[in-house]
Amino acid sequence: MSSTLTNPILQARGIRKSYYKNHIELPVLRGVDVAFARGEMSALVGRSGSGKSTLMHLLATLDQPDEGEVWFDGQRVDNLPRRGRDQYRNREIGIIFQFYHLLPELSALENVLAPAMISRSVLGYFRQRKSLTARAEAMLDRVGLLDRKTHKPSEMSGGEMQRVAIARSLMSEPKLLLADEPTGNLDTETGESILQLLRQLNTEDGLTVVMITHDDTIAERADRCYRMQDGLLVDRFTNEPSQDAATSPSARTSDQSPAPSRAVSAA
Ligand SMILES: Nc1ncnc2c1ncn2[C@@H]1O[C@H](COP(=O)(O)OP(=O)(O)OP(=O)(O)O)[C@@H](O)[C@H]1O
């Protein structure tokens, strides 16, 4: 695998990030370079505490690095003013989390509509209400849940809630979906159906997908994997496309060696 992607959609360059507890520095990301290929499904894999979620938050501009840069589609995004970062997050990328982050009082349809409501004025929302509702229904249909549109989260299974979260993330027609442990709270079979949905969105709708996972068997379902350890990127490999990428795990084909102890630059 080449260490250089010619046209990555999302890239972290030289990222460093520490947290502080009682004035003691805890370095969590210690110089991470990683680039995610446009149109692919990638996985960021590593043990608990390796820094995956911290990196994802920085990639999503939910937090800012101490050092380094984040680039999306040819534009630096980490140093944008707050409004620019909000626009990047609301329009260019979609984000889903392990615990779905749905609003419990709202129905599935209202949850899918919620970001569109929040990002518009009351008048703007009411002017566009019909078309936004039609789009929200289309997104629920895309994830196979239109018949559950009036259900509240308490009336849905974990897999259904994750589908609603995915539908919500698709409302803005993002180019890229960041998925933090998307199957982490689900049983194997339900997790499998979510992985298949993510793969379909990738192959059929052209959505770039970046999954964060601690699970090697899930990472093997991606086209390309990056392994993190102790705040460093220590390995990268591609997975051979399987005959049915949506249903069977693919085989690791390059860089079969164990993770090197030094950092690997993938930018
Ligand atoms: N706000 C915070 N303040 C202090 N330390 C933090 C904070 N957030 C994360 N950490 C620490 O940073 C390290 C990396 O955390 P992070 O959540 O990025 O890891 P992770 O690889 O995503 O782990 P997991 O798979 O368990 O979510 C951990 O040691 C964690 O305890």
pLDDT, tens only, 12-33: 999 999 999 999 999 999 999 9
Task: Report the atom number in ligand 1 closest to the C-alpha of 53.
Answer: 22
DSSP readout, 150-186?
T--GGGS-HHHHHHHHHHHHHTT--SEEEEESTTTTS
Q: Does position 125 have pLDDT exceeding 80, yes or no?
A: no
Ligand 1 residue neighbourhood (C-beta within 6 Å):
19, 21, 26, 28, 46, 48-54, 214
Say if 243 falls within a structural domain.
yes
- Cα-Cα end-to-end distance for the chain: 12
Q: Does position 245 have pLDDT exceeding 60, yes or no?
A: no
Q: 89 CA distance to ligand 1 centroid (A)?
A: 21
Q: Does position 254 have pLDDT exceeding 50, yes or no?
A: no
Domain span at residue 234 reads 38-50+90-252
pLDDT value at residue 117 = 82
What average pLDDT does the segment 219-239 reach? 92
pLDDT value at residue 252 = 53
Say if 260 falls within a structural domain.
no
Task: Report the atom number in ligand 1 closest to the C-alpha of 46.
Answer: 21
What average pLDDT does the segment 214-238 reach? 93
- Written as six digits, the tokens of 59 are 């990639």
- Written as six digits, the tokens of 78 are 């980490």
Q: 234 CA distance to ligand 1 centroid (A)?
A: 18
Q: 229 CA distance to ligand 1 centroid (A)?
A: 12
CA-nearest residue for atom 16, ligand 1, is: 51
Say if 267 falls within a structural domain.
no
For residue 29, the cross-strand partners are 17
What span, in angstroms and rounded, lies between the C-alpha atoms of 267 and 265? 6
Say if 82 falls within a structural domain.
no
Q: What is the mean pLDDT of the chain?
A: 88
Read off the CATH number of the domain in which 231 is found: 3.40.50.300
Q: In 10 A of CB 57, how many CB atoms? A: 17
Residue 32's nearest CA partner among 235, 203, 259 is: 235
pLDDT value at residue 124 = 75
Above pLDDT 70, what percent of the chain?
Answer: 88
Could you give the C-alpha distances from 192 to 149, 162, 183, in angstroms and in order? Answer: 22, 12, 8
pTM over 0.80: yes
Say if 8 falls within a structural domain.
no
Say if 9 falls within a structural domain.
no
CA angle at residue 112 from 108 to 115, to 5 degrees?
Answer: 140
Q: 231 CA distance to ligand 1 centroid (A)?
A: 10
**Torsion of the alpha carbons at 198, 203, 208 and 214, rounded to the nearest 10:** 40
Say if 181 falls within a structural domain.
yes
59-86 per-position pLDDT tens digit: 999 999 999 999 999 999 999 999 999 9
Number of domains in the chain: 1
CA-nearest residue for atom 29, ligand 1, is: 49
